[in-house]
Amino acid sequence: MAAKQVSKKIKLQIPAGKATPAPPVGTVLGPAGINLQEFCTKYNDATKDKMGDILPVEITIYEDRSFDFVIKTPPTPFLIKKVTKIKKGSTKGANETVATLSKDQLKEIAEIKLQDLNCYTIEKAMDIVAGTARNMGVKVED
């Protein structure tokens, strides 16, 4: 059996367990010709344990209109906001502190993100997350 021909790859960020054929999902995937209801059902089933999180998903669409998708970890800023319980990051970036993140919280986020980051140690992942936090105006405690 020959490998299927990939026709396109689409990246979306969809709230876990809440994909519907309506926009924005339908608007992006409709023209690709895949079964929207089937995608939404599979995505919602796969993400129902992460309700409330926004999850990036990479959808591979094949020539025969079948598809596969890979669910990634939530975006780092989303996780930082969730842990620090803030609505949004600073408008002035690192020049304004809107919240603080403990080393334990930083490590917790880094452990979640490690599989999607291009580093191999938890310490390097913590550095990457700390950089994102700094840019959002979230101070990392030493």
Look at the alpha carbons of 83, 85, 91, 96 in this order and tell me if their dihedral is positive or negative.
negative
For residue 72, pLDDT over 80 is answered with yes
Quick: pLDDT tens for 39-71.
889 998 988 888 888 889 999 988 888 889 999
Residues 6 or more apart whose CB falls under 8 angstroms from that of 81 comprise 87, 88, 89, 136
Domain end, chosen from 22, 53, 71, is at 71
Q: Which of 80, 106, 24 is nearest to 57 (CA)?
A: 24
Domain co-membership, 20 together with 41 = yes
Q: What is the CATH number of the domain that holds 135?
A: 1.10.10.250
Domain co-membership, 60 together with 99 = no
Other CB atoms within 10 A of residue 8 CB: 13
Domain co-membership, 48 together with 91 = no
What integer pLDDT is reported at residue 50 of this predicted model? Answer: 85
Q: What is the CATH number of the domain that holds 28?
A: 3.30.1550.10
Residue identified by tokens 């502190």 is 97
Other CB atoms within 10 A of residue 71 CB: 15
pTM for the structure as a whole = 0.76
Quick: pLDDT tens for 86-114.
888 777 777 788 888 889 999 998 998 88
Parent domain of 61:
6-71
Query: Residue 1 falls within a domain, yes or no?
Result: no
